[in-house]
Amino acid sequence: MKLHVFEAPIVNKSVLWNSHKGILLALTLLLVTIIPLSTNKNLPSSLPNLWKNTTNLKTVESEKKCDLFRGNWVPKSERPYYTNDTCDMMFEYQNCLKYGRPDREFLKWRWKPDDCELPLFDPAQFLEIVKGKSLAFVGDSVARNHMQSLLCLLSNVSHPVDVSPKYNLSYDFKRWFFADYNFTVARFWSPYLVKSKDADLNGFSANSLMNLYLDEADPSWNSAVESFDYVVFSAGQWFFRPQVYYENGQITGCFYCQQSNVTQVLNSYGYGKVFQTVFRTIMGLKGYKGVTFLRTFSPSHFENGDWDKGGNCARTVPFTKEEMKWKSFVVELHKAQVEAFKEAEKEGTKKGLEFKLLDTTEAMLMRPDGHPNHYSPRMNVSVADCVHWCLPGPIDTWNEFLFYILKTGRKDTH
């Protein structure tokens, strides 16, 4: 099966290189890492008073038929919510300004839905909404990227304490506590969301074969999220690796596995099955009473070559809606996960559980300018990061979506 090179089989290694694969693996990952992969003098030293949001939420709430996730990026006059000087919790590999990104145009856009307004993020209001509660991000290093955007946004009002050692010593699992609000933010490393195992006889590498057990949730999260009030699930670029799919203990197909005796299927098959398992599992947790979010597929933007063939992402402005192109595999992956979400939403309603959609895919397809590219601690390496998102940057919009949905309780956003 031919692999679409635009979203090459990459591995989220910025997190893995700190895990337990050993020094040799760490060196390998550094060479191929994209997903895994200070000067800030041009930005103001003080942040603006963005938190007195002038957007009339009642007006927004009255527009019942507005699709929050269909729109365009429009110029904005507001400064960034935070900078690399004001937030000390961002991962170095997404700290684009610190590592020399010269342009600032990518910071001068905000998302405008077609038929309504998206309010600015208000950290004080957000923290009041989640006071006494807990929020978990479950997924790969883009989920970590999302979480760190939220931490930076909230740190303008309250600075969290890293309480991870109380729960887990692994870098892959982190917890932050906002004492003033008794609010916990956590992340659980689970790039496939289901049980997985290395299957390559030569060991783990950038494109080594993985076994995915599509009907078995990853125990790293399913035993830990039951007590959380909000859980955000996401998955992405790891699904471009070669994979063999198992269901009920039997092989049911594979993606890019190059095994003639196994039925070749699209990775969207496994992707959809994974989210079915995720939602079935979360609904089956006896003590779970939380709100479940799906954050949809986050695209990469490699141009001038594949990720390991000199591809980069050097654009400095967004695509227009006319310039944006939905690649067929993005369409299929997005469709598979949203269909699984809609079925879970119906079933969840019967059980009194809420499911919410953060449909970020279209907005991010238009942001080829939002990635770190080569502006990271390893600027001299040949592999560009066109998968993660700069902090600050367009990924902060994901938390504007999250804030809006929590604020309004909106259900008809998809």
Q: 266-304: per-residue pLDDT in tens?
A: 999 999 999 999 999 999 999 999 999 999 999 999 999
pLDDT for the residue numbered 60: 44
- Alpha-carbon span 371 to 389, nearest angstrom: 5
Maximum pairwise Cα distance, the chain: 62
Q: Specify the DSSP class assigned to residue 96.
A: T
Annotated catalytic residue: which of 146, 371, 374, 388?
Answer: 388
Q: Is 385 a catalytic residue?
A: yes
Annotated catalytic residue: which of 141, 155, 234, 376?
Answer: 141
Q: Is 374 a catalytic residue?
A: no
- Alpha-carbon span 299 to 141, nearest angstrom: 13
Q: What is the pLDDT along the chain (414 residues), one digit of tens a residue?
A: 333 333 333 333 333 333 343 433 333 333 333 433 333 333 333 333 344 443 444 444 444 568 999 999 999 999 999 998 999 999 999 999 999 999 999 999 999 999 999 999 999 999 999 999 999 999 999 999 999 999 999 999 999 999 998 887 677 899 999 999 999 999 999 999 999 999 987 888 878 999 999 999 999 999 899 999 999 999 999 999 999 999 999 999 999 998 999 999 999 999 999 999 999 999 999 999 999 999 999 999 999 988 888 899 999 999 999 999 999 999 999 999 999 999 999 999 999 999 999 999 999 999 999 999 999 887 667 789 999 999 999 999 999 999 999 999 865 444
Q: Is 215 a catalytic residue?
A: no
pLDDT for the residue numbered 210: 96
pLDDT for the residue numbered 201: 79
Amino acid letter, residue 215 = D
In whole angstroms, how far apart are CA 182 and each of 65, 88, 155?
Answer: 35, 21, 14
Annotated catalytic residue: which of 140, 218, 385, 396?
Answer: 385
**pTM of the predicted model, to two decimals?**
0.85
pLDDT for the residue numbered 31: 35
Percentage of residues in the chain with pLDDT exceeding 90?
74
- Would you say 82 and 47 are in contact if contact means Cβ atoms under 8 Å apart? yes
- Quickly list H helices, 254-327: 267-284
Residue listed under structure tokens 């603006």:
48
